[in-house]
Amino acid sequence: MKRKSHDQGAAHSQQTVLKPVSRVAIHRRRNKSGSTAEILLVAFLFGASVLIGGVFYYHFTSKSSLSSAIIPKPQEHISKPKAPEQLSKPKAQEQDSKKTSGLRISQKHDSPHLFPKVAVLPVFATIPNAESLMAETYDGKPTIAGIISILQTFLSKLHVLNFDLVGAEASIDKIIDDVFGLAQEVLLPFDAAYRGRSIFPVRDDESIFMSLAAFREHLLMQTLVGAFKNAKFPDKLFIGAVVQNCFGNVDKDGTIHTKGLPCRTGAQVIGKNAAGRDQTKVSDAPPDKNGIESFCNNPDYKKYCDAGQIRVLYVHETESLGPAMARYYASKLWGGETYFMQSDSHLQFATHWDQKFIMETKAALNYPKAVLSSYPPGFSGGKKISVVHESGGSRLCTCGFSDSPIEKEIIRVGPGGSYDGTEKRPAQIPFIAAGFFFARAEFLVDVPFDPFMPWVFMGEEIALSVRAWTSGWKIYAPRKNLISHQYRPGRMGLPKFWGSVNRLFHRGAMNNNLQGVVVGRIKNLVGYADNTKEKIEKDGYGIILKEQKHYGIGNEHTLQEYMTFAGIDMEKKICKTPDWCFKASLQ
């Protein structure tokens, strides 16, 4: 109806113009010998008629401008959206890409997908127009705000689902079926929309995205300060943090109660028993401190939060599904930065660590498809922010089949050999550590993170290694240690995600039981003879192999080629350290 009124308004304005002109024309035919005054009169009337007609036309057409914005154009006039990797870089950015800082990238005309900005505080802030942003993201027009809205939707539905599962005292099978079903409903369509291509164009400005999965982390603020303070180019550093905290007691509708001591500690050592063994106790505790809030309220670092360099997804500890899932969420907070770095959230950094990791990656012979990874050296102590003193890097050369009944014989990675300082290039290794790796962001296209790995703690490293290497990415150990890591034995008494899972379902070994089933997905991927597709389906757990072809072996090498390369004998379940790795002879 509104498009019709637009046509009527246009016709009316045309009549308004034509009538005076036709009368003047008739008058001129009757008075061929008209005076100059008459000619001027004609010109005046003609100009006036055009002006009046224009006013009428504007008046009637402007009323329909809103409807024309709402009503879609005919399909043949709508250009098909380009894939993100086909989008051309703005000329201004292209000409000055080397000088572009993180603060400049925040401008809307350079990176429209970073707008609207998502507030990092308060926690669980509502994103305006979330449904519209989600629909656009599912439809191939992604924004960080739309992606966070999708992740928030998944977590909100998981929150309600958990209440229902706990109330029904659901079986392990029911819990697995429902959580996998929810991932299939909310997360899988998002992944499918960008499968085989980059969600955003990869910027060529040497920027770094750091993926941080933080579970009730008391050193998150210190990690962020250390990263920015010691970076050579802090304006090019972007953080994607998944903050899994106890924010208080949470009702089914999401209301948070923070009074008193609504949280629980980890198993804290309180003494020795009669046999001389540690005695532990879990106590009530206040809500966890939010490291993001501490960082963003610090006057020295607030500017990075204001510039959009900190992206956050908040998760209630009761919705924590383990590190593999948290890293899946964090990978989706990537916004087009040149490099992708995954790390734990309790780190210290060397001076100019950012530039040095970039230079080391470029020194690898297989660059740009090169991954740096290692187990960083450890540090002890509290919250003091220290600068890492560079030392010779170590290499991940060894592995073994776990003999723990909880870990179901999963392959565990280990170190084996260090650099002596004479090496001209980084050397290859067969394994990626989940707690630290660094690569170009195209890694996310070839090795997308798997949304079907809830409750998994052990196994993500061998899965990452196999998938990356068979996709043509070579793995290297950095020659220098540029970060250090706080390793956390159980006697530190820090909360663990499996404790939250067990408390949620009021069953002591619940996470072990859930992980014991889901780890079959990884064992099937890696080629365990007792975890074939047929065996898993016969046991009634076929759902754990959901969409595995999209998160599986790459197309550049076979699984058996990787096993030979890494020295793994799946039949005998033994690992033999490759001589080339121990000697750092393969570049």
How far is Cα 161 from Cα 80, in angstroms, rounded to an integer?
A: 38
How far is Cα 390 from Cα 393, in angstroms, rounded to an integer?
A: 9
How far is Cα 430 from Cα 474, in angstroms, rounded to an integer?
A: 8
Report pLDDT for 51. 43
How far is Cα 71 from Cα 321, in angstroms, rounded to an integer?
A: 43
Are 247 and 123 in contact, with CB atoms under 8 Å apart? yes
Phi-psi region of 98 (alpha: psi -120 to 50; beta: other; left: phi over 0): alpha
How far is Cα 269 from Cα 272, in angstroms, rounded to an integer?
A: 8
Domain boundaries, the chain: 2-69, 106-247+288-582
Report pLDDT for 488. 76
How far is Cα 326 from Cα 143, in angstroms, rounded to an integer?
A: 20
Report pLDDT for 489. 64
DSSP one-letter code for 377: P
How far is Cα 1 from Cα 478, in angstroms, rounded to an integer?
A: 67
Q: Which CATH number fits domain 106-247+288-582: 3.30.56.10, 3.40.50.2000, 3.90.550.10, 3.10.450.40?
A: 3.90.550.10
Crossing angle of helices 144-167 and 172-186, rounded to 10°: 160
Report pLDDT for 526. 97
Low-confidence ranges of the chain (pLDDT < 50): 1-43, 50-106
- The DSSP element (H or E) to which 414 belongs, if any, is strand 411-414
Omega prior to 20 cis, within 30 of 0 = no
By residue count, the chain amounts to 587
**What single string gives the DSSP state of each residue in 543-575?**
GGGTTGGGGS--SSS-HHHHHHHHTEETTTTEE
Computed from CA positions of residues 110, 114, 117, 120, in that sequence, does the dihedral angle turn out positive or negative?
negative
Report pLDDT for 417. 85
Report pLDDT for 6. 38
For Cα atoms 306, 309, 314, give the angle at the middle one, nearest 5 degrees. Answer: 90
How far is Cα 11 from Cα 5, in angstroms, rounded to an integer?
A: 10
Neighbours of 34 (CB within 10 A): 13
Report pLDDT for 47. 52
Structure tokens at 570: 């799946």
The span from the first CA to the last CA of the chain, in angstroms, equals 70
Are 473 and 370 in contact, with CB atoms under 8 Å apart? yes
Are 516 and 408 in contact, with CB atoms under 8 Å apart? yes
